[in-house]
Structure formats: C-alpha cells, structure tokens
Structure 1
Amino acid sequence: MSRLLEKPNIAMSITTTGSQLSSTVAAATSTQVSSAAYDTDTSSREDDESSSNSLATNELPMQPSFDEVFISLIAGAAAGALAKTTIAPLDRTKINFQIRKDVPFSFRASLLYLQQTYNKEGVLALWRGNSATMARIVPYAAIQFTSHEQWRRILQVDQNGSNTKGRRFIAGSLAGITSQSLTYPLDLARARMAVTDRYTGYRTLRQVFAKIWVEEGPRTLYRGYWATVLGVIPYAGTSFFTYETLKREYQEMTGNTKPNALISLAFGAAAGAAGQTASYPLDIVRRRMQTMRINTNAQERCPTILEILVKIYREEGFKNGFYKGLSMNWIKGPIAVGISFSTYDLIKAWLRELSHLKRGRVEK
C-alpha cells in the first residue's frame, strides 16, 4: 500500500518538474521575444533615423551632374523655340506698335497690320525675323532654364522644406540676367528684322550684324542693354517666382508633385501675365533704343534710358506711352510663357526617364 501511495508522488513531482520546465522555457522564450522585439524596434528606429538623415542630405544642394545640365539645356531650348514660334506674328505686331508713336495701339489696328503684312508679303512674312528669334531664343531659353536650376542650387531655394520666397525671386532674376547678357546682340538683330521688310531692310541675320558693325559701330550691338537688364529683373524674377509658387501651393493642397500639362500651362500663363506687366515700360524703352539708328558720322548721341522715359511721357503720356501694346502682351505673353514652362517640365521629365532607362540597361 505504501508503495502504491508513493506512485502519485512521483507523478506529481514529474508534473511539477514539467510545469517548472515549461514555465522556464516560456520565460526564456518571452525574454528572447522581447529582446528580439527590442532589437527590431531599435533597428527600425535606426533605419528611420538613417533614412531621414539621407532624405535631409538629398535635399541639400548637390553638384549638378553632366546629364542633368544637358537635359536642362535641351528641354529649355525646345521649350523656348516652340513658345516663340507659336506667338511670332503677335510678337512682330507688338514690336511695330512699340516703336511708333504716331499710331495708337488697338486690337483693330493690330489685326489690320497683320492683314496688310499678309497681303503685301505673304503668310511667311508674319514670321519675318523668326530665324533671328530662333537663333536667339534657343540659346537664351537653354541658358535661362539651366542657369535657373543652378542659381536655385547655389542660393539653396526651398531646401529642407523651407519656403524661401525672396530667394525664389532672386534666382529667377539672376537667371534672366545671365541668359540676356550672353545673347543680347541676337535680341537686337531680331528687333531690327521685325520692324523692317525684306525689300528695304535686312535680308538675313548676317546682314544685320554686318551693317550695324560698319554703319553704326560694334557698340550698337549692346545698345539698350541696361534697359533690358533693368527690365529682365522684374520680368524673369516675377515669372519664375509666380510659376514656382503656384506649383508649390498646388502640391501642398493636392499632394501631387507633378501637375498635368493643362495645369502647368495655366500656371505659366499667370506667370507670364505677371512678368509682362511688371516690366513692360522698360520693354518699351528697350525696343526704342534697339531700333533707333544713330548716324556715327554726324556724331549723334544715343539717348539714355531716363531721357527716353521722359520723352515718352511728354509726347505720349503715361498709359499710351509706357503701356502701349500691353493688352497684346496679355495675350501673347501668357501663351508664350505658359507653353515655355509647361513644355520645359514635360520634356525634362521625359528626358530624365530616358536617362534612367538607359542607365538601367547599362548596369544590367
């Protein structure tokens, strides 16, 4: 009997021992799990911190690669060429009214001018001077857009989530000054060809430079430069500032970093209207100085910016003088700038995708 009574004790001890072992194993397992969870949590935190640090590092201005600069140059050149070719007839009409003080501007008068030009010289005459425009706008737009990207990088515009509106305006202005300074003689040649016909004026772009060099002197190629620079500061600054600001506001409202073509076109149109209005009086002065012929043999002196501004005000008044043809600019300006900005963004994104695909094939 005593032996029979001892068996349950053995079972109880075995059970107790087993429960102790299972509790020990469970405790060890829970310790390992909690330790693993802690390690996982710590590693995830470290990964989050490293990823956030890498994100912050990516936002800092980096040295531009050759591919990025090349893509900006190509996209800018194509955008400028398409925009200017689209509005070339309107641009020629505007220049003719800007330099003539005897003919008041109106839509009816501008349409009449286009009709007379078409009847007299044919449809291609409406694009007269466009070859000079292309010779200028292709390098001008390429330099402007590319230099804008570099000035944004140098000035650290909107870096690390900041909202640097002042630097945004300065970057646009510096981009305009850079491109205008490097291509100004081509702008003057374009203006000369736009206000003359093929019978009494210049036949080719080369003839413009040759005649100006011989008859008026090489300094004439930069006549009106300072008026242009003073005008391009508010024009380019306001245009780039308005476009970049609208894109930023759109991104914050919708969370979409890439607006579609129509929205980009609308943002560019608003930027063009704002830029044209801000700089238009100096654009009048620039065209007057560019198309003014000075007889060097008679030692005539080219009037200064201030003298031309005073003369325009006295002879034509404030509205009809300084803002003559502005309504035409409100049509062609938004169209041109809208096409330019939206085309630049689209072509740049497309070229980047091609570059990434090409790079991926090479790595494979």
Structure 2
Amino acid sequence: TGKNGDEHFHVEEHKLNSKVPNHNKIITSLVAGAVAGAVAKTVIAPLDRTKINFQVSNRRFSFKSAFKFIFHTVKHEGFIFLWRGNSATMLRIVPYAAIQYTAHEQYKRMLNRNRRKKHLPPHLRFLAGSLAGITSTSLTYPLDLVRARMAVTEKNLYSNLFQVIMKTYRQEGFRTLWRGYLPTVLGSTMYSGTSFFTYETLKKSHAEYAKGEEPKPFERWCMGAVAGFASQSLSYPLDIVRRRMQTAGCTGHVNDYTGIWVTAISTYREEGIIRGLYKGLSMNWIKGPIAVGVSFTTFDITLQWLRAQTIFHIDEE
C-alpha cells in the first residue's frame, strides 16, 4: 500500500504539473517563492534582529539577555524598531526565496529527466537543494550584507538600505559588499541541501504512509520545522562567521575578521565553541523551525493554488 500511495501522490502531482506550460511553472514558482520568503521572514523578524546582535558581539547569549534586548529596544526605540532592517530583508528575501524555490524546481526537473514519476534518490535530493542555495545566495548576496549591517547599527547611522550600500562602498570599497561571501555560500550549500532534502524525504514518507493523501497545512509545517531544525544545527557556525565578517566595519573588527578561518579561529579563541561558534543557536532552534515551516507550507499551498488557476484558465481557452 505504501508504494501505491507514493505512486498515487506522484501521479496526481505529475498531472497537475504536466498541464502547466514550463514558462508558467517558472512564473508560478517565482511568485510562490517570493510570497513564502516574505511571510516567513516577517513572522520571525524580531527574533532575527535579536539573534544577529548577539552573533556579532562578545556578549554572552541567554534567553534572559535576549528578552532584555527586546524589552530595551521596545522601551527606547519603539515596538516597530524590532522590525528594523526588515525592508532590507524583504528586498533580499523576496528575490532570494523566489530564485531558491524556482532553482530547486528546475534542478529537480533536470536531475529527474530520466526518472519520470519517481522521487530523486537521496544524494540527488541533497544536490538539488544545495545548488538552489548556491544560485540564490550568489545572485542576492550584497543585500544580505546590507541587512546584517542595518540590524546591528543605530538608526541615525543608516536611515535606509541605499545609504548602507553607498556608505559601505565609499568608506570601505566595492569588495566589502562581498565580504563574508565564502562562509555564506558554504553555509547555504549545507543549509539548503539539508533543508530541501529533509522536507522532500518527509513528504515522500508521508505519501507512503497516508496512501497518497496530500499533507495538511499543519503537517507540512511540522515537516518544514524538522527540516529547519536539522539545517540550522548543521550550518550554524558558518552563520556566525559570515555575520561577523559582514559587520566587521560596524563593530570595529575589520582587522580581526579578514577571512573565514581567521574569523572562526578568532571567535573560538575569544569565546570558545559553544559560547562563540554556537552562540544564539538555542534561539535559532525556536526561530528556524518556525520560519522554515512557514516558508515551505506557504510555498506549497501558494504554488498549488497558482497552478490550479493556470490550469483552469488553460481549460477555459
């Protein structure tokens, strides 16, 4: 029965996708990816800002100190300030998520060319996710650096993201806009590979167990949350390294954080493994699963709706 369920699930999915022209597949996945990224990041923006502030400093992280930071921000700068940098996040995450999900769909199609109606084997599932992460990171990287800088600076230093780009370019040079790219792309390879691999594997298992029934939104969120937990845990030290390299010009560490290994060793020597390279991971274990769960669920539901509308209009013509 499990195998029949898996086949049934794939036949239904294949029917839906086979009726949609390829250019429509790209457009629908771009739109669904953009919506998924925007919704997920807006939900967890205050936690993201709190996490980044601890990642780039020498302060010890605890939930108590995280709540203190949130309370202090609300009291002195206003509730809405918890979303500071979110405009830069949106400008990055909308194209990033749109490209990532669309690239993943296209890489899956390419890798699956001779395996119609079958799931990709595990190593190709991981490869499709990794390639999607590399593609989206490479095409949107300077916006990630801008967002990190906005999150750790006072509002009077940078009033908007264009000012961040211009000030960084004038004061530190063009190359600085790509500072931290290597740890980011390495982290993204691991993060996206693990994330998509886990989610796709859990969806396959669900199809086998539920005899081909579509997962409910909450089930999708749970599968996404597990994927988020696994991917965050594996790639986290590279996240610390990239944030420190990206914000070195704002935090007075330009000479300390010059490269990936120098930054990692410097962080380890000053703060150790747990308090340095894994600082704030406990908050990420809350933030990550929520965000990834919301993102995958939003993407799947939005994509299905958009493709159903496309088929409806094609059938009408």
Relative to the length of structure 2, the TM-score reads 0.91
1:84 maps to 2:41: yes
Q: Does 1:167 align with 2:124?
A: yes
How many pairs does the alignment contain?
Answer: 303
Which residue of structure 1 lines up, in the alignment, with residue 188 of structure 2? 232
Q: Which position in structure 2 is the counterpart of 1:100? A: 57
- CA drift of 1:312 comes to 1.1
Correspondent of 2:202 among 223, 246, 249: 246
Aligned to 1:30: none
User: 1:300–1:98: structure 2 CA closer, same or farther, 3 Å change rule?
Assistant: closer
Change (3 A) 1:249 1:216: same
Equivalent in the alignment of 1:332: 287
Query: 2:19 & 2:243 partners in 1: Cα distance?
Result: 40
- The answer to whether the Cα contact below 8 Å between 1:62 and 1:153 also exists between their aligned partners in 2 is no
The correspondence for 2:73, drawn from 99, 114, 117, is 117
User: 2:19, 2:311 within 8 Å by CA — same for their partners in 1?
Assistant: no
- CA shift, 1:337, in A, is 0.3
Deviation at 1:161, TM superposition (A): 2.8
- Residue pair 1:294, 1:301 contacting (<8 A) in 2 also: no
State the SS of the aligned residue for 2:249: coil
- Which residue does 2:273 correspond to in 1? 318
Tell which deviates more after alignment, 314-323 or 136-145: 314-323
Runs of 4+ in 1 over 6 A off after TM superposition: 61-64
Q: Structure 2 residue aligned with 1:71, among 16, 24, 28?
A: 28
Task: State the AA in 2 paired with 1:161.
Answer: K
Residue 314 (structure 2) aligns with: 359
Provide the C-alpha distance between the structure 1 equivalents of 2:31 and 2:98, rounded to a whole number of angstroms: 7
User: CA RMSD of the aligned region, Å?
Assistant: 2.4
**Gaps in structure 1 of 5+ consecutive residues:** 1-53
Q: Deviations over 1:37-81 (max 9, x none)?
A: xxxxxxxxxxxxxxxxx99x98xx999611110000000000000
Aligned pairs for 1:1-364 (under 5 A) are 65-101=22-58, 103-156=59-112, 159-161=116-118, 163-199=120-156, 201-293=157-249, 303-362=258-317
Runs (5+) with no aligned partner, structure 2: 1-10
Structure 1 stretch displaced more, 280-289 or 250-259: 250-259
Distance 2:117 2:26 in 1: 22
Give the Cα–Cα distance (whole angstroms) in 2 for the partners of residues 126 and 160 of structure 1: 45
| Greater relative contact order (Cα < 8 A, sep 6+) | 2
Q: Kindly indicate whether the alpha-carbon contact (under 8 Å) linking 1:294 and 1:300 is maintained by their aligned counterparts in 2.
A: no
Partner of 1:345: helix, strand, or coil?
helix
Q: 1:300 to 1:96 in 2, by over 3 A?
A: closer
| Deviation by residue 1:237-267 (Cα, 9 ceiling, x = unmatched) | 0000000000000101111342010000000
Cα distance in 2 between the residues matched to 1:249 and 1:111: 38
Report % sequence identity. Answer: 53
Q: Deviations over 1:200-254 (max 9, x none)?
A: x211011001101100001111000001011111100000000000000010111
Give how far 1:162 is off: 5.2
Any idea what SS the aligned residue of 1:100 has? coil
Give, as a single letter, the amino acid of the residue that structure 2 aligns with 1:320.
R
Structure 1 pair 292–64 and aligned structure 2 pair: CA distance change class (3 A): farther
**Code of the aligned partner of 2:162:** R
Distance 1:123 1:162 in 2: 46
- Per-residue CA deviations over 1:166-194 (Å, capped at 9, x if unaligned) read 00001000000000000000000000000
Letter in 2 for 1:121: E
Native 8 Å contact 1:234 1:275 kept in 2? yes
Structure 2 equivalent of residue 33 of structure 1: none
